[in-house]
Amino acid sequence: MQSGHTRKRLNHTASAKLKTIHILQTMKQFLSYLLILCTLSVHPLIANQSINQIRSELRDLRQQRGAIDRKIHEAQAKIRIIEKEDDLIDAINSLKVHTPHKKRTVLVYSRTQGFRHQSIPFGVHALTEMGKRTGAFNVVASEDPAVFNSPSFMNYDGVIMLNTTGNDVIPQGRARENFERFLMNGKGLIGIHAATDCHRNWSNYLEAMGGLFDGHPWGANHTVSLYNEEPNHPICNHIQTGDRIRDEIYQYREDSYFTRDKLRILLSLDLNGKNMKAKGMKRKDHDYAVSWIRKYGNSRVFYSNLGHNNETYHNPMALQHFLNGIQYALGDLSADDRSSASVGNGSARALPAGF
Ligand SMILES: [Zn+2]
């Protein structure tokens, strides 16, 4: 039998054990709270920044990457331009040029706010060299919208919109007013490729340019056949129906800007050519124009869809077409610019049988 003393000692030991267990449980709970607290504070402790600060840092880094990417592309373009300089000079030497009535200066404007075509430096270089070597015009190239606010803007003979993308390439307000005034003054407006993929919110621009981009069923690697709508027209009489070129071709939105009642269509796609059927063709009238001219205000407008690919800018056929169109717009090449409809060419050809 246990003595009273022994029982007391046993009770004491049991209660001490219970106390220890209690302390251990409390400590365990405390440690798990501490762990939770630590987990909660890991994010600010690691970064020492709020999530918004990190997001803004990420934005800055992406912008820096964008600027570096652009510099890399520009450096690559310079190398390619130098490598292809002989081809460009050969092409320019083959061009037929009309003697300008006076010294001409054109603004080549290539600001982008949407997609940026990598061919822009090729275009600026080719137009500059073409103008210089043929004596047809002098080029001033800019991507600064302030150029439209300068008093000297009105002295240009023409503006070439070279692959301009986005809705505010020429900003709303004074710049657009000056541009519209410029066109009322009997000047030249030339659009190359993406010049129809900007200013969706500016109806006077769309009216002047004559069309709005509505997808490109024929991508940059597509070799298309051209149909010469006007074989005797001085802007395209060097091109034969069936001539082929590898370039990206747009279709234009069905609207009141793109209509043969206003435009003189010069080139369109030759749907009888090889591999011409493309996904995304949606015009009900099958009117897939490639270049045109029109009068707008007192000015002359030339637009060409060609000009997505770098190679287009040393292709003799394309350069002759650009030069003719530019000289027409500048007033140095007289050309019939009545609308297609008014000269009996009011609709596109029917689709080839079985197309
Ligand atoms: Zn393009």
CA proximity to 250, closest of 208, 299, 295, 191: 191
Predicted local distance difference test score (pLDDT) of residue 295: 97
CA of 213 from ligand 1 middle (Å) equals 10
Three-state DSSP class for 137?
Answer: coil
What pLDDT is recorded for position 36?
56
What 3-state class would DSSP assign to 57?
helix
Q: How far is the CA of 162 from the centre of ligand 1 (A)?
A: 11
Alpha carbon of 216 to ligand 1 centroid (Å): 8
143 Cα–ligand 1 center, Å: 18
Ligand 1 centre distance from Cα of residue 325 (Å): 20
In whole angstroms, give the CA distance from residue 313 to residue 127: 8
Position 1 scores a pLDDT of: 45
Secondary structure of residue 23 in the 3-state scheme: helix
What pLDDT sits at residue 10? 56
Residues flanking ion ligand 1, Cβ below 5 Å: 248, 308
Task: For residue 67, give both structure tokens.
Answer: 């600027």
CA–centroid distance, residue 306 to ligand 1 (Å): 9
Q: How many CB atoms lie within 10 A of CB 349?
A: 16
Give bridge partners of residue 190 from the DSSP assignment: 160, 302
Which tokens hold the place of 319? Answer: 């350069």
Ligand 1 center to 211 CA (angstroms) = 15
pLDDT (0 to 100) of residue 27: 73
How remote is the CA of residue 90 from the centroid of ligand 1, in Å?
A: 25
CATH code, 59-343: 3.40.50.880
Ligand 1 centroid–CA 194 distance in Å is 6
Smallest Cα–Cα separation from 110: which of 197, 34, 221?
197
CA 328 remoteness from chain centre: 25
Quote the pLDDT of residue 14. Answer: 66
pLDDT at residue 79, as a whole number: 96
Q: Which residues are registered as beta bridge partners of 249? A: 218
Say how many Å lie between the CA of residue 218 and the centre of ligand 1: 10
Q: Ligand 1 centroid to 248 CA: how many Å?
A: 6
Please enumerate in sequence order all residues whose Cβ is within 8 A of that of 71, keeping only pairs 6 or more positions apart, or say none: none
Helices vs strands, H then E, count in the chain: 7, 9
Non-local CB neighbours of 138 within 8 Å, separated by 6+ positions: 103, 104, 105, 106, 131, 132
Distances (CA, A) of 205 to 138, 163, 288, 292, 299: 24, 15, 21, 15, 13
Q: What residue type is 316 in one-letter code?
A: P
Please give the distance, rounded to the nearest whole angstrom, from the Cα atom of residue 308 to the centre of ligand 1. Answer: 4
State residue 326's pLDDT score: 98
Task: Indicate the domain borders of the chain.
Answer: 59-343
Say if CB 218 and CB 246 are below 8 A apart: no
What secondary structure does DSSP assign to 151-170, as a single string?
Answer: GGGGG-SEEEEES-BBTTSS
* Ligand 1 center from residue 297 Cα (angstroms): 28
The number of angstroms, rounded, from the C-alpha of 10 to the middle of its chain's C-alpha atoms is 90
DSSP annotation string for 84-129 = THHHHHHHHHT---PPPSS--EEEEE--BSS---TTHHHHHHHHHH
Cα of 124 from ligand 1 centre, angstroms: 15
What is the residue-level pLDDT of the chain in tens, covering all 355 positions? 455 565 566 566 667 677 777 777 777 776 666 665 555 555 555 667 888 888 999 999 999 998 999 899 999 999 999 999 999 999 999 999 999 999 999 999 999 999 999 999 999 999 999 999 999 999 999 999 999 999 999 999 999 999 999 999 999 999 999 999 999 999 999 999 999 999 999 999 999 999 999 999 999 999 999 999 999 999 999 999 999 999 999 999 999 999 999 999 999 999 999 999 999 999 999 999 999 999 999 999 999 999 999 999 999 999 999 999 999 999 999 999 999 999 999 999 999 998 8
For residue 335, the CA-to-ligand 1 centroid distance in Å is 28
Question: CB–CB of 257/207 below 8 Å?
Answer: yes
